[in-house]
Structure 1
Amino acid sequence: MDKHTEITNVLTEKDVPDEGRRNMMKLTGAGMVALGVASLTTGKTFAQSSIKLSDEWDKKFAKSDKVDHKKITFKNRYGITLAADLYQPKNASGKLPAIVVGGPFGAVKEQSSGLYAQIMAERGFVTLAFDPSYTGESGGEPRNIASPDINTEDFSAAVDCIGMQGNVDRERIGMIGICGWGGMALNAVAVDKRVKAVVASTMYDMTRVMSKGYNDSVTLEQRTQGLKQLSQQRWEDAGKAAPAYQAPYNVLKGGEPQFMLDYHDYYMTPRGYHPRAVNSGNAWSQTTPLSFMNMPLLTYISEISPRPVLFIHGEKAHSLYMGKTAYENAAEPKEMMIIPGASHVDLYDQVDVIPFDKLTSFFKQHLA
């Protein structure tokens, strides 16, 4: 594993890549969501009246012949039905350790989370990748909204579900959160003591970036103005009895920072495009940022201890500063692995970059 660098101390500011920093500073504003560029214009409402699971293998990765796969559904404690993919090692016997996987923010289980889940199942774990409430094949209306509370609950509901599987050892359940769901996973594990170990891969703290902008560059005046705009939008939504949606992100206009190009290369090309993903030409509701701007996700991150947490981040990731802060605020035992030369999006699907050997050894040690 000589291509990976493990650190046990917090990185300093000089370790944040310079590339795109000046351009990132331009992408500020309280309404910023995962891609950071959604404009407040009315878009399509994505209605869903019932759960309908696709029968086809429509994932962005090849099906493994080393695992058994099936689609399942389960409910969270708010009564929303979630859709998930359950992966199990072929010909395994006895009670097995298990891992639930979620993320990235605006993605679906057919993308990054499913890839992580399938590969970890190949390595001996029962795994579950799920679509968060209001997105993908999961239930909840209106469509394409997010909530720091409800989406944190989605993770715990996934733990409920996987722990009900007959071949799962409930005392050996772990969690992986990717991108924006890295922060959700950390928040879930802080309160859900059933989870014995957690990994945050290329994480975002969505409450931080929505309320403060990239690199915490939003001023109080800008935040206040953004909240006023979102508050007024509530009158518009109430009058129409339906939410307005942001403009879909699907066209590059030129001048975008590198991380925006990376997002586009994943979500809007055959590499990662999926029609059910919010980030693949669909859109979040305009008022989605409101609860994120008023409810810091990682307030109780230190309460994950004494259970271990592993942070994985790319050396060139624009989001690295969020991982640094989370690592600093977490209590021991904790570990951070920096992947040399890797960007934020590299850890979505680049199997030669994602440190699956490290993930395997981490969970085998702590779910023993």
Structure 2
Amino acid sequence: MTKTWDKVFPKSDRVDHAKVTFANRYGITLVGDLYLPKDRGGVRLPALVVVGPFGAVKEQSSGLYAQTMAERGFATLAFDASFTGESGGSPRNLASPDINTEDVSAAVDYLGLHEAVDRERIGVIGICGFGGMALNAVAVDKRVKAVVASTMYDMSRVMSKGYNDSVTSAQRTQTLEQLSWQRWDDARNGKPAYNPPHNELKGGEAQFLLDYHDYYKTPRGFHPRAVNSTGSWTRTTALSFMNMPLLTYIKEIAPRPVLLIHGEKAHSRYFSETAYAAAAEPKELMIIPGAVHTDLYDRMDKIPFDRITDFFRENLIAA
């Protein structure tokens, strides 16, 4: 683990920060950043697990959310998902709908055993692709009292159906055939093959791809350990997402509340709108005027931290 502050955002003088480790149910060691408000006194605090975006690390957006919410009185834990960043797991740069959902609950395990935390008041914030994972985790993990998904991606939906569900049955079959044969190549080579590097520009890209580049490949958000900044996922990462829809049981989050936040101009807005329609009450969909997908990664004038704070203060109520 790094010893120095290497986040893409400034360190706050209003919180205490510490590197921590904890294990998930599969025995993978996860590395996180724990943020505690300095003026906490001896009171046990409401706590938040924060994770995402998909392909990012805790030094980026999730850390910014976590530190900001710690300034507002919460104990917060931002962490690297299995196989990424400083967390364990091999091979590297692999994602799994099951293991990454488990990562969220493992973070709840950690917070619930921490002396500064009131385990009856734990919430979750998932950003981008981990917004979908967070919703999936909270549906099954009844210890969590409330969940926020910000600029949410449903990774199983986009991997299996493409953007705006545009992939045909024939195209899906072709992709599965390619991925299936790739398994033999990986087995023969004794290691996985990787996709081309993410967020490289060749010209003519859609605006949302330019937005990703602007965050992950420039000083605004670049971090050397982030998959989206310097690497790529294994070619077969999509396999486990293809027939494992993450949001099948979103209704089972109820009666615990859900807050979905998305940008008005985000290419991904339909993911939150669909999730909102499928979720049961109590639920809220908050659309941020003029915002694109990546604005909710780090734009402090766009991320509605006041509403997020009120939402958790209202709903993280001890039993």
TM-score, structure 2 normalization: 0.98
Partner residue, 1:98: 47
- Identity across aligned pairs (percent)? 74
Give the distance between the partners of 1:322 and 1:249, measured in 2 at CA: 22
Instruction: Say which SS state the counterpart of residue 313 (structure 2) adopts.
Output: helix
Q: What are the Cα deviations for residues 155-191 of structure 1, in whole angstroms up to 9, with x where unaligned?
A: 0000000111101001000000000000000000000
Give the distance between the partners of 1:281 and 1:120, measured in 2 at CA: 28
Q: What are the Cα deviations for residues 266-301 of structure 1, in whole angstroms up to 9, with x where unaligned?
A: 000000000000000201000000000110000000
Give the distance between the partners of 1:312 and 1:139, measured in 2 at CA: 30
Q: 2:310 aligns with which of 338, 361, 368?
A: 361
Partner residue, 1:335: 284
Give the distance between the partners of 1:339 and 1:276, measured in 2 at CA: 30
Instruction: Say which SS state the counterpart of residue 280 (structure 1) adopts.
Output: helix
Q: CA RMSD in A?
A: 0.6
- Aligned partner letter, 2:126: G
Give the distance between the partners of 1:217 and 1:154, measured in 2 at CA: 30
Instruction: Say which SS state the counterpart of residue 117 (structure 1) adopts.
Output: helix
Give the distance between the partners of 1:251 and 1:291, measured in 2 at CA: 25
Task: Check conservation: 2:199, 2:212, Cα contact below 8 A.
Answer: no
Q: What are the Cα deviations for residues 228-256 of structure 1, in whole angstroms up to 9, with x where unaligned?
A: 00000000000011000111124311111
Q: 2:33 aligns with which of 85, 101, 124?
A: 85
Task: Check conservation: 2:199, 2:209, Cα contact below 8 A.
Answer: no
Which portions of structure 1, spanning 4 or more consecutive aligned residues, are displaced by more than 3 angstroms?
Answer: none
Give the distance between the partners of 1:222 and 1:193, measured in 2 at CA: 38
Instruction: Say which SS state the counterpart of residue 121 (structure 2) adopts.
Output: strand
- Aligned partner letter, 2:16: D
Q: What are the Cα deviations for residues 33-70 of structure 1, in whole angstroms up to 9, with x where unaligned?
A: xxxxxxxxxxxxxxxxxxxx001100010000000000
Partner residue, 1:70: 18
Deviation of 1:120 after TM superposition, in Å, equals 0.1
- Aligned partner letter, 2:259: L
Q: 2:257 aligns with which of 308, 314, 326?
A: 308
Give the distance between the partners of 1:217 and 1:199, measured in 2 at CA: 27
- Aligned partner letter, 1:56: T
- Aligned partner letter, 2:312: F
Give the distance between the partners of 1:288 and 1:167, measured in 2 at CA: 37
Give the distance between the partners of 1:351 and 1:101, measured in 2 at CA: 17
Give the distance between the partners of 1:290 and 1:181, measured in 2 at CA: 18
Instruction: Say which SS state the counterpart of residue 2 (structure 2) adopts.
Output: coil
Q: 1:151 aligns with which of 100, 107, 111?
A: 100
- Aligned partner letter, 1:90: K
Give the distance between the partners of 2:137 and 2:201, measured in 1 at CA: 35
Q: 1:113 aligns with which of 62, 85, 100?
A: 62
TM-score, structure 1 normalization: 0.85
Partner residue, 1:162: 111
- Aligned partner letter, 2:193: A
Give the distance between the partners of 1:229 and 1:128, measured in 2 at CA: 38
Partner residue, 2:293: 344
Gaps of 5+ in 2: none
Q: 2:183 aligns with which of 220, 231, 234?
A: 234
Partner residue, 1:142: 91
Please say if 1:122 is aligned against 2:71: yes
Please say if 1:273 is aligned against 2:222: yes
Give the distance between the partners of 1:327 and 1:91, measured in 2 at CA: 36
Give the distance between the partners of 1:357 and 1:270, measured in 2 at CA: 27
Deviation of 1:125 after TM superposition, in Å, equals 0.2
Partner residue, 1:15: none
